[in-house]
């Protein structure tokens, strides 16, 4: 599961998976930041690479500043490290840290 902590823009499936792929690349290469430049999205993804816990979910937090046809804004999301290798089995969810609950996002 990939947990969206906060977003100021609407996320399409393309944008969500692009952000996940960038997160996976950052972790695998041991980098802290990478730029995004595609037909539908521009910006960057950054992380400290440190593991954090939020509402019972443990993973690596990422922050992306992106611009797309849906606008520009900030996206913060958490990816469980065990989920990084296999994208095919994943889904996005919105995490409510105050309630400690997650709700799977549907597009």
For residues 100 and 53, the answer to whether their CB atoms sit within 8 Å is: no
Tell me the percentage of the chain whose pLDDT exceeds 90: 37
Tell me the average pLDDT across 81-104: 60
Strand partners, 92: 2
pTM, entire model: 0.77
Residue 34: both structure tokens together: 């990478």
pLDDT in tens, 15-51: 988 998 899 899 889 899 999 999 999 999 999 988 8
- Which residues are CB-neighbours of 99 under 8 A, at least 6 positions away? 55
Alpha-carbon distance of 45 to 62, in angstroms, equals: 7
**Beta-carbon neighbour count of residue 43 at 10 Å?**
20
Residue 26 CA to residue 43 CA, distance in Å, equals 15
- The two tokens of residue 42 are 């521009």
């Amino acid at each position: 599961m990939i947990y969206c902590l906060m977003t100021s823009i609407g996320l399409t499936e393309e944008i969500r998976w692009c952000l996940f792929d960038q997160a996976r690349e950052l972790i695998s290469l041991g980098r802290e930041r990478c730029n995004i430049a595609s037909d539908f999205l521009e910006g960057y993804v950054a992380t400290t690479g440190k593991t954090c816990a939020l509402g019972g979910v443990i993973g690596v937090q990422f922050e992306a500043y992106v611009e797309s046809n849906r606008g520009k804004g900030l996206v913060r999301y958490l990816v469980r490290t065990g989920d990084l290798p296999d994208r095919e089995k994943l889904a996005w969810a919105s995490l409510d840290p105050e309630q400690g609950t997650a709700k799977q996002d549907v597009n």
